[in-house]
Amino acid sequence: MTLAVDRRSLLRGRIGRAAGEIRPPFSRDEKTFSGLCDGCGACVEACPEKAIAPGADGRPLLRYRDALCTFCQACGEACPTGAIDSEHGQSWTAKASIGSACLSFNGIVCRACGEHCDDDAIRFKLLAGGRALPLVDETACTGCLKCALVCPTGVIRMRRSPQKEIAA
């Protein structure tokens, strides 16, 4: 994977994002986004849910562990540069990924993520010793962010799935 690094980010020592950090919905592809976004913060101010915050590079990231994005598109409407644009931006492809520090992996009963998943994308496979293995069905996961918001240990990360080419 290659990173799109602009001069400003390189000089500030801000190269790339940490694992699990994703741009707001309708963001352009990373290379285009980095070229367009000037870190003005208009999207951060416009978000009624306070689900967007500046990342280490000064550009917006989705705060899915702290607030629920409602996909209202206010961020895109406020973006003066077109870095976030519902017409030209990427479709939402984020999927949940559950880390190994999950309470269920460690023998502690917790099913908060599954209980909050309206799409039944998170199911639990019973294992010996009373443990339950949480499994994410990526075909059912819509990336709604609810599971990450309610996870008591914060081990659910959102990651972008590769976009599939649609034949014309």
Per DSSP, the three-state class of 156 is strand
Chain-wide mean pLDDT for the chain?
84
Q: Are residues 98 and 154 in the same domain?
A: yes
**Torsions phi, psi for 23 (to 5 deg):** -75, 160
Q: Is residue 88 part of a domain?
A: no
Q: Where residue 168 falls among pLDDT bands split at 50, 70, 90? A: very low
pLDDT of residue 33: 93
Distances, alpha carbon 7 to alpha carbons 13, 14, 59, in Å: 10, 10, 14
For 160, list phi and psi in degrees, rounded to 5.
-80, 130
**115: in domain:** yes
Residue 149's domain is classified under what CATH number?
3.30.70.20
Parent domain of 35: 19-78
Q: Which of 78, 105, 126 is the last residue of a domain?
A: 78
State the pTM of this model: 0.71
Secondary structure of residue 135 in the 3-state scheme = strand
Torsion angle, CA of 126/132/137/142, rounded to 10 degrees? 140
CATH of the domain at 43: 3.30.70
> pLDDT-derived band of residue 4, with 50, 70 and 90 as boundaries?
very low
Residue 113, Cβ neighbours under 10 Å: how many?
Answer: 26
